[in-house]
Amino acid sequence: MINLQNQPVPVIVDTDGGVDDALALIMALNSPQLDLKAVTVVAGNINVDQAANNVLRVVSIVKPNTLPIVAKGCEKPLVKQTFNAAGIHGADGLGELDRFQEADGTLRYPKLTIEPSTENAIDLLLKAAQEYGDSLTIIALGPLTNVATAIQKDGATMKKIGRIVIMGGAVTAPGNITAAAEFNFFVDPDAAQIVMESGIPLTLVGLDVTMKAPLARQVVEENLQRHPSKVTQFIADCTGIYMAFHRDNEGFYGCYLHDPLAMAVAIDPSLVKTESLYIRVETQGRFTTGMSLADRRDRRDHKANPPNVEACLDVDTERFMQLFAQLGNLLGNLPVGI
Ligand code: RIB
Ligand code: CA
């Protein structure tokens, strides 16, 4: 989380390599408030190998001065069968970039020459927790399998970290992958519950607020016209299939900025209003697996079930969209991404 000395905050982004993850990573790579130590990758929207490749694609386009370590983690959920969102983010998780060609017929997104680290994401998370302690924020944008595995391996070390900002769950909003569950929590509910009961300070950026942050296709296309760059071109290309899915299934031609909002909350927590809640994640439900159940009863036993999450219930959408436009390089006004 942001600190008063305005020193960049050491962060690790844990991601499942989809379209909104890519938009969030562009923000992180452009944010002076964050010191991006590493990106750890987990299976979710797409398999872990493709997700790692997608992270490297974003890095190759933004061209940050310092390349973050990209380390692969868990290939499947702790207990449940693998479940992905290729039908929503595209077969490659990034809008099927191999469709795009330049005017001369060459591939706009050729095969990458950079590789992920050989270091395992779980070991990297534990090493960072040990090294940075409570100054470290983990920004979790996918299923929580990597984080939960690190907690299972060495919970005491993981409890040293300052905070985990999680894109996931929902308090009062319906689910998005089932009526009850948000995608990240649905893919690995067991991991989500392990994180909920870990005792680590948690901020939950759930569907209650992310569904209040839509990005219209028109905005993306207008920005590409006004501010042509590799980054604005990439944003237009990778969001095509994802936005068409929303057009055909959610009634608007655009997409929700789930992961970018979680990134924004890590940068500026004043963007959201939170409530301290006791939340558990259903792991055995017949219809409700992955549901994040907040106990908001007045007569809840506060001693037995103390709040474990700062849950975001409202967002200053206008200020968030300004931050997204700036850090997401939508305005093409940042010196990266020629
Ligand atoms: O429910 C939305 C979340 O699931 C986002 O993080 C999206 O990238 C997918 O991982
Ligand atoms: Ca994600």
Rounded CA-CA distance 334/338 in Å is: 9
Q: Which of 38-42, 245-249, 303-307 has the lowest mean pLDDT?
A: 303-307
pLDDT at 300 (0 to 100): 76
**CA atoms lying within 13 Å on the CB side of residue 115:** 3
Tokens of 86: 């290729």
Rounded CA-CA distance 13/287 in Å is: 31
Residue nearest to atom 10 of ligand 1 (CA): 142
pLDDT at 7 (0 to 100): 87
Residues in the chain: 338
Rounded distance from Cα 311 to ligand 1 centre (Å): 17
Q: Which of 28-37, 297-306, 314-323 has the lowest mean pLDDT?
A: 297-306
DSSP state of 262: H
pTM of the model: 0.96
Q: Which helix (H) or strand (E) holds 130?
A: helix 121-132
Q: Do 335 and 30 form a contact (C-beta atoms < 8 A)?
A: no
- The per-residue pLDDT for range 199-218, each reduced to its tens digit, is 999 999 999 999 999 999 99
Rounded CA-CA distance 113/257 in Å is: 29
- The per-residue pLDDT for range 55-107, each reduced to its tens digit, is 999 999 999 999 999 999 999 999 999 998 878 999 999 999 999 999 999 99
The residues assigned a catalytic role are 258
Domain spans of the chain? Answer: 9-327
SS3 233: helix
Q: Which atom of ligand 1 is nearest to the CA of 184?
A: 4
Cβ of 175 closer than 6 Å to ligand 1, yes or no, is no
Cβ of 17 closer than 6 Å to ligand 1, yes or no, is no
Q: Which atom of ligand 1 is nearest to the CA of 183?
A: 1
Rounded distance from Cα 301 to ligand 1 centre (Å): 32
CATH number of 9-327: 3.90.245.10
Q: For strand 69-72 and strand 137-140, is the pairing parallel, antiparallel, or unpaired?
A: unpaired
**Furthest CA-CA distance within the chain:** 68
For residue 259, give the nearest of 278, 276, 238, 279 by alpha carbon. 238
Q: Which of 74-78, 124-128, 160-164, 221-225 has the lowest mean pLDDT?
A: 221-225
For residue 163, give the nearest of 314, 310, 4 by alpha carbon. 310
